[in-house]
A and B are shown apart, each in its own frame.
Chain A
Amino acid sequence: DVKVTQSSRYLVKRTGEKVFLECVQDMDHENMFWYRQDPGLGLRLIYFSYDVKMKEKGDIPEGYSVSREKKERFSLILESASTNQTSMYLCASTSPGLNTEAFFGQGTRLTVV
């Protein structure tokens, strides 16, 4: 059974903290993605990576950074968490190509207080 695993289902952090969201996939996929999901806004792409140490900005990269040191792991970093980063964060992975299925983790609900 293929899996994308996000390290936490729920997180509560304080404003100004550095926050790490971890995602691991076991399908040997080249592509990995971080999305943010908010009511009425759907899924918005934060960053994606198409290879180890390679990354590209998505539509809303401000306030975030990413790290991909190993193929199976893609980390999202909030350098200084703010309350407007309270959201659901979804990680996904795909193999290369436009017609391939994306596999999603179950999401991390982050609350910044």
Chain B
Amino acid sequence: AQSVTQPDIHITVSEGASLELRCNYSYGATPYLFWYVQSPGQGLQLLLKYFSGDTLVQGIKGFEAEFKRSQSSFNLRKPSVHWSDAAEYFCAVAAGTDKLIFGTGTRLQVFP
């Protein structure tokens, strides 16, 4: 069965620092991969997605993610974090059905 692992529960960075959030998936074939962000008190918003082609995908708010099949990873990156990026980030996979399977999330805290 497909699954998603986000090994980091909580990450703290300083404003202006670079960021990488880890995501590993389990699925036999090529997965459809997503990153969503949830700001406090809000629903989830799509940051970016990958399903084929270039393994480096660009998203909104300056985020990017790289699909690495050999490592079963889809890590999210941002070169310079802003205080408004503080939120919870979820990696998700869609495979075999139209269902989205989510990871447990990573809470990002940004210090000024």
Residues of A within 8 A of B (CB): 4, 31, 33, 35, 40-45, 48, 50, 58, 90, 92, 94, 96-102, 104-107
13 contacts between A and B (CB under 8 A): A33-B100, A40-B9, A42-B103, A42-B104, A43-B102, A43-B105, A90-B44, A94-B100, A98-B95, A99-B51, A99-B94, A101-B49, A107-B43
Tell whether, in the assembled complex, residue B102 and residue A42 are in contact, meaning their CB atoms are under 8 Å apart: yes
Q: Which of B6, B32, B103, B104 is A99 in contact with, Cβ under 8 Å?
A: B32
Contacts A90-B43, A90-B44 hold; do A31 and B51 have CB atoms under 8 A apart? no
Q: Which residues of A contact B110 (CB under 8 A)?
A: none
Instruction: Name the distance in Å between B21's Cβ and chain A's nearest Cβ.
Output: 14
Name the residue of chain A whose CB is nearest to the CB of B103.
A42
Decide: B98 and A97 in contact? CB cutoff 8 A.
Answer: yes
Interface flags for B1-16 (1: CB within 8 Å of A; 0: not) read 0000010010000000
Nearest Cβ distance between residue B50 and chain A, in whole angstroms? Answer: 9
Binding site for A on B (CB under 8 A): 6, 9, 32, 34, 36, 41-46, 49, 51, 90, 94-95, 98-105
Chain A residues with CB below 8 A from B6, complex form: 42
Closest-by-CB residue of B relative to A97 is B98
Instruction: Point out the residues of chain B lying under 8 angstroms from A33, CB to CB.
Output: 99-100
- Does the CB pair B105–A42 fall under 8 Å? yes
- What chain B residues lie within 8 Å of A92 (beta carbons)? 43-44, 100
Q: In the complex, A90 Cα to B32 Cα: how many Å?
A: 21
Partner of A48, one of B9, B41, B44, B99: B99
Residues of chain A within 8 A (CB-CB) of B105 are 42-43
CB distance from A5 to the nearest CB of B (A): 10
Give the residue name and chain of the B residue nearest to A95 (CB).
Answer: B98
Q: With the chains together, A105 CA to B34 CA distance in Å?
A: 18
A40 and B7 CA atoms in complex are apart in Å by 11
Contact B46 A101 (CB under 8 A): yes
Task: Quote the shortest CB–CB distance from B63 to chain A (angstroms).
Answer: 15
